[in-house]
Every structure is written in C-alpha cells, then in structure tokens.
Amino acid sequence: MINSSNLPQYKTVFYRNNPQTGYYTKTEQQPEITPVMRLPYQLKVENTQLHQIKCNATQIIRGKEIYKSGSFKFFTGMQETNFKQWFAGNDYEFSRGQKILSLSLFHFSMDNSRLTVFYFGRFYIDRREAREKFINDITPVLLRRHFL
C-alpha cells in the first residue's frame, strides 16, 4: 500500500488547453522552465498512428520540439488506467548509451481544459502487472494530495 511516507519522488506540471492551437500549454503557475526539464512547454494529444507506437494506446501525447533526426523530444502513448480521465505513459532518454524510462501519469479535467502531469523521473516498473498495481495504488494518493 502506498501512502505519503513511501511515495517515489515525482514532479507535478500544470497545463491549460488552448483550443485555438490544440496544444496544452504550461499555466502561469509554472515558470518557463519546468521542474521537469523533460516535459515541454506545450503538449498535444493525437490519435495513434499504427506505425508510431507499439503499446495498446489509442492516443499519444507529444511536444512540439523535434530532434535533428525528426523524432519528437517528448512522445508517449497514453494508456487508460482504472481511473476516469487518468492515463499512463513513459518517457525515455538515453544516458551513457542506456535507455532510461520514467513513468508519467496524465490527469485531464472533466472538460479537458486542464492537464496535470505527474512525472516520476527515472522511476519505472517494467512488469505490466506490477506497474498497473502501482498506478492503482498511487492514483488515490495523488487525487487526495492534489485535487481534494
């Protein structure tokens, strides 16, 4: 059971939907530089293209910034969780030739006007069943801590 005393470290980043651009943009609550440098200033949700992602996600979330290779700097599939308006994804980076994963949880407001990202930097559970259990345990804690 997860409680406030044994939570893995995470950062919270707030976004607001801009209907004109279709991007979620960091709110005034956040400075230009986020507490998570891996998360971009703007994020966009799109339907998954079959060649884009291998998991069971029907939507992806990505930033605007692109590497010279043409791939997005932030890009992940959004997998549904057991909680309404909550999705899970991962972020990967290469450090010293090794792929490092970080868990991301995405919470959308009921009207999709706001997005809150919980970023567990360099924390990831490889086994799907164990990862789903962690998400089921941590989400009520995050709800109490940030939304109630």
Residue 28: which residues within 8 A CB-CB, separation 6 or more?
none
Residue 50, token pair as written in the block: 């079959």
Closest CA relative to residue 75, chosen from 88, 89, 94, 85 = 89
Q: What is the pLDDT of residues 82-107, one digit of tens each?
A: 999 999 999 988 888 899 999 999 99
Domain boundaries of the chain, sorted by first residue: 11-147
- pTM score of the predicted model: 0.90
How confident is the model over 24-73, as pLDDT tens digits?
998 876 655 555 678 888 999 998 876 555 567 889 999 988 888 888 88
